Amino acid sequence: MSGQSADDPDGRPWDAALALRIIGKTVLVGITVLAPDGSIADDAEFHGIIVEAHRERGIAIACRGANLGRRRIVPPILGALEPASPGRYRLRSTAETVIDPDYTAMWTVHRRAS
């Protein structure tokens, strides 16, 4: 991710204070990968604890549940983290239920044609 702008796609600068506040918070993440024709090529969901938020390395998540022991990195776009409403969230991919996460984040990745 080095060489990329530290600003998010909406042009908001990196918020170091927010980056510190999210450490230790729980997050539920959904990633949809779209094929060049727009069809869904892959769909992943995972949840865990935010262990690092760095403007160049990204947001590191120590996974829990079915992905326990795995560390996932998402882009350093703090604006993608939405405060989660209290409740029970069911992951389609693993049938896990996550109760009262602090944040949710949804990502869509567009694959380019080869």
Q: What are the residue ranges spanned by the domains of the chain? A: 16-110
| 1 pLDDT more than 80 | no
DSSP 19: H
Radius of gyration of the chain (CA): 14
Kindly report, residue by residue over 28-81, the tens digit of the pLDDT.
999 999 999 989 999 899 999 999 999 999 999 999 999 999 999 999 999 999
Question: Which regions of the chain does DSSP assign to beta strands (E)?
Answer: 26-34, 40-54, 58-63, 71-74, 82-83, 88-90, 97-99, 103-110
CB distance 101 to 84 below 8 Å: yes
